Structure 1
Amino acid sequence: MTELGNRLKEARLAKGLSLEDVQTITKIQKRYLIGIEEGNYSSMPGNFYVRAFVKQYAEALQLNPDEIFESYKNEIPATHNEDLPEKLSRVKSRKSVTDGSSKIFDIIPKILIGVFVIGAAGLLYYFIVTSVGNNANDTANKENEPVKFIRSENLDKADEKETEKVKDKDQEKQEDQKTEEETPVVEAPKQELTAVQNSGKNSTYDLKNTDKFVVKLVSTGQTWVNVKNSSGQSKFQGLLSTTGTQSTEVDLTGDAKAFIVVGRAVDTEIYVNDQKLEYVIAPTDVVQQNITIQYVPKNE
């Protein structure tokens, strides 16, 4: 085993992570992780992948990849220019496509602008001609139309009925306002989420005054979480990240407890019935935390 392998393995064990946990976080196959820890790179596709896997492994353990490469540069194989011809050919093909297409792209905006100007001018002309014709017809019709005066016999009765309707609506509105003022408003007690105990990386909370128990975990970076119910059954286990599955929600209303393992607390937000849980242990001090929530139903 190399010095690099020893350092990575010690850092992994210090965080309480197994090779399976690191495989879940980094998506690197376990056999490659074993090869890195043992200094055996023969099973990997090439030197480029060796360096890439070492970088991902170091970042998962919160180590500085640049410092790792500098300290163990004699152990980590350097990349060669074996894929340089392929990269150069890609650059050349892209450049040729860009040069050939640039002239077309220069002409297209001018054509589109010309079409837009012609279309706008045509629409403006159409609306002007139509408006002038309609105004002329309306003016001629109004000049030839005789003035008529019509007296409605039911005008007074209609006014009386409308006045009565307005009075009835005002009276109903006043009665509704009185009813609302007389009815007392009873506020439901707010739920209580209280930290009752903490030690090391373990903390315990009590949840009271609520009929439901729904836990939501949201990642603000990258974290591994595991949620178990009071029977020890895992309800969710996996990686949350802003580039993939960012959040998960677990309904534990029928359970008395929830056990939550957070791999990276600084990148994990926990909500209980939409109320954000405030870490009693600072995430910057303890990255991996074990959180227990004890649920006391509202009627008990």
Structure 2
Amino acid sequence: MSELGIRLREAREAKGLSLDELQEATKIQKRYLVGIEEGNYNMMPGKFYVRAFIKQYAEAVGLDPEEVFEQHKSEIPATYNEDIPEQLSRVQSRKSFSPADSRIMDYLPKILIGVVAVGLVVLIWWFFAKSNGDEAAKEPVSQESESVKYEESEDIVDKQPADETGENKDNADKEKGKKKDKTKSVQELSVVENGGNKMVYDLKNSDKFEVKLATTEASWVSIESGSGKSIYQGTLNKAQGNESQTFDLSKETEISIIAGFSPATELYINGEKVEDAFPKENTGRQDVTVRYIKSE
């Protein structure tokens, strides 16, 4: 057992908390809590989860997470963030122009000049064509032609059945009604609370409540109803072919979503992505509540 594990376990016991109670408080599975106390980090879903779980554990037992990380940094495995400078250097070293690219850059000014020249020719041609068209449109129309057209229009109006006119009016009214219905059915998702690692939304003007959780990397997630009933709990992992789950929650009026690793988690409501639900900068736990206000 590591020194960090001993310290966390002693703090938990001092609080009088069992592993089951700690699991309920942090929403971290019991086997992961045991792994943290024993220093067995290989059983975690990923390296980035180790810090997130230790942080939640420390907060739950009254310890300062930053102090814990500083004092026991030799025991905690490095996360993927520490590899970023090395990856950036490799990308920059590969970013060079080939001889073919250099030749293209030499010809680029000539190509641009040619495009501009062609554009000017087309513009001049369009201007003259438009001027000729305007002059032709200004030519006077004989009175005889006007009277003929007027008489033909009157004949067409007189021959149109009255019932057909009424039918067209009814169809127009129906189309207006359909457009109004479509306007009313546009769903509205608004933010009513933004507390950093906690977001609250209201969903209105929607006849359904479909929730999809997706991940770009491994992320532990859970969904509970407003009454506290567990709807789903598990780890979504794209590498294992289980990157998303979809739920029809139209019978619920409120749900709570917890994501263990916010940057890798995405939320969709009725097929539309909720952009700010899980901030990329929050590497810890993120809580999202959605209240479904059904249309009357």
Q: TM-score, normalised by structure 2?
A: 0.47
Structure showing greater Rg:
1
Q: TM-score, normalised by structure 1?
A: 0.46
